[in-house]
Amino acid sequence: METFVEALKKLKEGDVCFAHADHNPAHFDDAVRHDLADHGQHPYAAVITCGDSRVPPEHIFSVGLGSLFVIRNAGNVIGPFELGSAEYAAEHLQVPLILVLGHTHCGAVESTLAGGAGGHIKEITDEVKRAIGEETDPRKCEWLNARHSVKVLRDSEILSHLEKEGKVRIMAAIYDIETGEVTFDE
């Protein structure tokens, strides 16, 4: 079982490898698949990120099967299903780290800055609007949005209790879609 510090170190090293190496060491082979099927999953982090196709968490952190519990939607916002999924990851899978990974050039943030959207997309842009308030700088808004999701996660009784006990840490980060680098909110 990894600690928060070990989990964060692995993510950082994986991102450096992704951003600067010409290969990805992640394993996706038969043996890993069978081992995980036989012994269950023991991911070392939960990553809540945007559905944007330019933001694939396993690639970004150079990991294969069984390493990350991934929760995705447009804008990495937190609603009841995301909250339940995060509680499951922390309480039942005992991940020591929940990372909210926003990213540069996020369409959900840009759409919110442009006045929001219709249909069910509005539920997302309304939530992003609550996060960014009157801020208009997209880069600042992406951070505000990721940090807002951290705050919503901490409103969970289960997660805040586990964080107070030192069993999980909840943190924001931003992925730069051009450089491949992740900046952690430490």
Where on the chain is the footprint of Zn ion (CB under 5 A)? 50, 52, 106
Comparison of 65 and 117: residue with beta carbon closer to Zn ion:
117
Comparison of 17 and 145: residue with beta carbon closer to Zn ion:
145
CA–CA dist 6, 96 (Å, integer) = 9
CB of 161 to Zn ion, least distance (A): 30
Q: Are 164 and 177 in contact (CB under 8 A)?
A: no
Comparison of 50 and 97: residue with beta carbon closer to Zn ion:
50
CB of 109 to Zn ion, least distance (A): 7
Q: Are 77 and 49 in contact (CB under 8 A)?
A: no
Cβ neighbours around 53 below 10 Å, total: 6
Q: 17-50 burial string, b = 16+ CB within 10 Å, else e?
A: bbeeeeebebeeeeeeeeeeeeeeeebbbbbbbb
Q: Tokens 């020591």 belong to which residue?
A: 96
CB of 131 to Zn ion, least distance (A): 13
Comparison of 53 and 136: residue with beta carbon closer to Zn ion:
53
Comparison of 85 and 94: residue with beta carbon closer to Zn ion:
85
CB of 110 to Zn ion, least distance (A): 9
Start-to-end C-alpha separation, the chain = 22
CB of 54 to Zn ion, least distance (A): 8
Report in angstroms the alpha-carbon separations of 20 from 13, 117, 149, 176: 11, 37, 29, 13
